[in-house]
Amino acid sequence: MADNEIMDMVRRFAGADPDAEDTVLQMCYQAAVAWYEAAGVPADTDNRLWVFWVCNLAAWMYDNRGTADNDAHVPAYIVTSVHQLRPLRRTSAAAAGTETDTGTDTGTETGTGTDTGTETGTGTEAGDGG
Protein backbone atom coordinates (compact mmCIF):
# COMPACT_ATOMS: atom_id res chain seq x y z
CA MET A 1 0.00 0.00 0.00
CA ALA A 2 1.43 3.39 -0.95
CA ASP A 3 2.18 6.05 1.67
CA ASN A 4 -0.53 8.38 0.34
CA GLU A 5 -3.11 5.57 0.66
CA ILE A 6 -2.01 4.89 4.22
CA MET A 7 -2.23 8.58 5.11
CA ASP A 8 -5.73 8.64 3.63
CA MET A 9 -6.62 5.72 5.89
CA VAL A 10 -5.10 7.46 8.93
CA ARG A 11 -7.17 10.55 8.09
CA ARG A 12 -10.32 8.42 7.89
CA PHE A 13 -9.57 6.58 11.14
CA ALA A 14 -9.01 9.92 12.89
CA GLY A 15 -12.12 11.49 11.37
CA ALA A 16 -10.01 14.37 10.06
CA ASP A 17 -11.12 16.69 7.28
CA PRO A 18 -9.71 15.44 3.95
CA ASP A 19 -8.65 18.96 3.01
CA ALA A 20 -7.00 19.80 6.33
CA GLU A 21 -3.25 20.17 6.87
CA ASP A 22 -1.88 16.72 7.64
CA THR A 23 1.45 17.50 9.33
CA VAL A 24 0.17 16.40 12.74
CA LEU A 25 -1.40 13.25 11.25
CA GLN A 26 1.89 12.40 9.54
CA MET A 27 3.70 12.79 12.84
CA CYS A 28 1.15 10.50 14.51
CA TYR A 29 1.60 7.94 11.73
CA GLN A 30 5.39 8.07 12.06
CA ALA A 31 5.08 7.72 15.84
CA ALA A 32 2.76 4.71 15.43
CA VAL A 33 5.23 3.03 13.07
CA ALA A 34 8.05 3.72 15.56
CA TRP A 35 5.91 2.37 18.44
CA TYR A 36 5.35 -0.93 16.60
CA GLU A 37 9.02 -1.15 15.58
CA ALA A 38 10.06 -0.64 19.23
CA ALA A 39 7.73 -3.54 20.09
CA GLY A 40 9.48 -5.81 17.57
CA VAL A 41 7.03 -5.37 14.70
CA PRO A 42 8.78 -4.14 11.54
CA ALA A 43 6.98 -1.87 9.10
CA ASP A 44 5.14 -3.86 6.44
CA THR A 45 2.94 -1.69 4.24
CA ASP A 46 1.93 -4.74 2.18
CA ASN A 47 0.37 -6.40 5.23
CA ARG A 48 -3.20 -5.11 5.53
CA LEU A 49 -3.40 -6.16 9.16
CA TRP A 50 -0.28 -4.12 9.97
CA VAL A 51 -1.74 -1.13 8.09
CA PHE A 52 -5.02 -1.46 10.02
CA TRP A 53 -3.34 -1.49 13.42
CA VAL A 54 -0.87 1.31 12.59
CA CYS A 55 -3.72 3.50 11.31
CA ASN A 56 -5.70 2.67 14.45
CA LEU A 57 -2.81 3.67 16.72
CA ALA A 58 -2.05 6.81 14.70
CA ALA A 59 -5.69 7.89 14.99
CA TRP A 60 -5.62 7.23 18.73
CA MET A 61 -2.45 9.33 19.03
CA TYR A 62 -4.10 12.09 16.99
CA ASP A 63 -7.20 12.03 19.21
CA ASN A 64 -5.05 12.14 22.35
CA ARG A 65 -2.49 14.71 21.25
CA GLY A 66 -2.03 17.24 24.00
CA THR A 67 -3.03 14.82 26.76
CA ALA A 68 -0.20 15.20 29.21
CA ASP A 69 -1.41 13.17 32.15
CA ASN A 70 -1.55 9.45 32.92
CA ASP A 71 -4.93 9.02 31.22
CA ALA A 72 -3.28 8.69 27.81
CA HIS A 73 -2.37 4.99 27.91
CA VAL A 74 -2.38 3.11 24.63
CA PRO A 75 -5.56 1.00 24.68
CA ALA A 76 -5.18 -2.68 25.51
CA TYR A 77 -6.68 -3.79 22.19
CA ILE A 78 -3.85 -2.01 20.38
CA VAL A 79 -1.18 -3.35 22.75
CA THR A 80 -2.36 -6.93 22.18
CA SER A 81 -2.13 -6.44 18.40
CA VAL A 82 1.66 -6.60 18.84
CA HIS A 83 1.35 -10.33 19.60
CA GLN A 84 -0.60 -10.84 16.41
CA LEU A 85 1.87 -8.90 14.28
CA ARG A 86 5.26 -9.73 15.78
CA PRO A 87 6.87 -12.09 13.21
CA LEU A 88 9.89 -13.09 15.29
CA ARG A 89 7.74 -14.54 18.05
CA ARG A 90 5.56 -16.47 15.60
CA THR A 91 8.43 -17.96 13.63
CA SER A 92 10.72 -18.69 16.57
CA ALA A 93 7.96 -20.44 18.52
CA ALA A 94 7.04 -22.54 15.51
CA ALA A 95 10.66 -23.44 14.78
CA ALA A 96 11.48 -24.33 18.37
CA GLY A 97 8.27 -26.26 18.97
CA THR A 98 7.54 -24.12 22.01
CA GLU A 99 4.49 -22.10 22.79
CA THR A 100 3.02 -20.06 25.59
CA ASP A 101 -0.50 -21.17 26.42
CA THR A 102 -2.68 -18.86 28.48
CA GLY A 103 -6.04 -20.49 27.85
CA THR A 104 -7.74 -23.84 27.64
CA ASP A 105 -6.90 -25.93 24.60
CA THR A 106 -9.55 -28.55 24.02
CA GLY A 107 -8.13 -29.82 20.71
CA THR A 108 -5.26 -32.05 19.87
CA GLU A 109 -1.88 -30.91 18.73
CA THR A 110 -0.13 -32.55 15.79
CA GLY A 111 2.88 -31.73 13.73
CA THR A 112 6.48 -32.52 13.05
CA GLY A 113 9.54 -31.16 14.76
CA THR A 114 11.17 -31.29 18.13
CA ASP A 115 9.17 -30.68 21.28
CA THR A 116 11.51 -29.13 23.81
CA GLY A 117 9.09 -29.51 26.69
CA THR A 118 9.29 -25.80 27.51
CA GLU A 119 5.58 -25.15 27.24
CA THR A 120 4.21 -22.85 29.92
CA GLY A 121 0.78 -21.57 30.76
CA THR A 122 -2.35 -22.03 32.76
CA GLY A 123 -4.44 -24.06 30.34
CA THR A 124 -5.03 -27.74 29.82
CA GLU A 125 -4.02 -29.45 26.65
CA ALA A 126 -4.92 -32.80 25.07
CA GLY A 127 -2.41 -34.57 22.91
CA ASP A 128 1.23 -35.49 23.01
CA GLY A 129 2.64 -32.02 22.15
CA GLY A 130 4.44 -33.44 19.15
Domain count of the fold of the chain = 1
Average pLDDT over residues 91-110: 49
Is residue 99 included in any domain, yes or no? no
% pLDDT > 70, the chain: 63
β-bridge mates for residue 127, sequence order: 109
- Whole-prediction pTM: 0.64
Is residue 41 included in any domain, yes or no? yes
Is residue 129 included in any domain, yes or no? no
CA distance 121 to 104: 9
Is residue 45 included in any domain, yes or no? yes
β-bridge mates for residue 101, sequence order: 121
Is residue 12 included in any domain, yes or no? yes
Domain hosting residue 42, numbered range: 3-90
Which of the four pLDDT bands, split at 50, 70 and 90, describes residue 87? Answer: confident
The closest alpha carbon to 55, from 120, 63, 76, 94, belongs to: 63
Flag whether pLDDT at 51 surpasses 80. Answer: yes
Average pLDDT over residues 71-89: 83
Is residue 97 included in any domain, yes or no? no
Q: Are 10 and 30 in contact (CB under 8 A)?
A: no
Is residue 106 included in any domain, yes or no? no
pLDDT score at 86: 85
